[in-house]
Homo-oligomer: A and B are copies of this chain.
């Protein structure tokens, strides 16, 4: 890959990271996405699954919805999608359906990733569209953001468990 292309990919991945940080602020798993067409961002999104109580509130789905609205077409054939985490089956499938030709992602998703980790929906000859994908762009920053979120979540869960235990113990010691 040329140095210029790499710099461009990193620039847009920073914008995807900015989206991911919006998810972090509202307590969601920090995943962000931008879609670029002709040097212009045409769709942005960040994970809001719990907030919106919808499995469709993944970063990529929101960005695809906005990009289609912005371009007036369900086919996003001249676009590149940047996302901080390897897409899940739903999002990888939506990318194939929207005929996006290129996807750039940061961190690997070993539990649900469909750009090579669990499956590769982007290189399935049975479909009528294939997708070029590039992994590992700003991988450390994307992965650190996720690691930090899950580490904080574990601490919070432990504290809540301890509080519940203390509260239960106080109730059980109370005379009837």
When chains A and B are docked, how far (Å) is the Cα of A50 from the Cα of B68?
11
**Interface contact A53-B73, CB-CB below 8 Å:** yes
Q: In the complex, which range does the number of interface residues on chain A fall in?
A: 35 or more
Residue-by-residue, is A72-106 near B (CB-CB < 8 Å gives 1, otherwise 0)? 11111000000000001111111011100000000
Quick one: given A49-B74, A74-B49, A89-B89, are A94 and B124 in contact (CB under 8 Å)? no
Q: Give every chain B residue within 8 A of A94 (Cβ-Cβ).
A: 55-56, 90, 93
Q: Give every chain B residue within 8 A of A90 (Cβ-Cβ).
A: 90, 93-94, 96-97
Q: Which residue of B lies closest to A111 (CB)?
A: B128
**Interface contact A72-B55, CB-CB below 8 Å:** no
Q: Give every chain B residue within 8 A of A128 (Cβ-Cβ).
A: 111-112
When chains A and B are docked, how far (Å) is the Cα of A75 from the Cα of B50?
10
Stretch at the interface among A11-19, A113-121, A162-170: A113-121
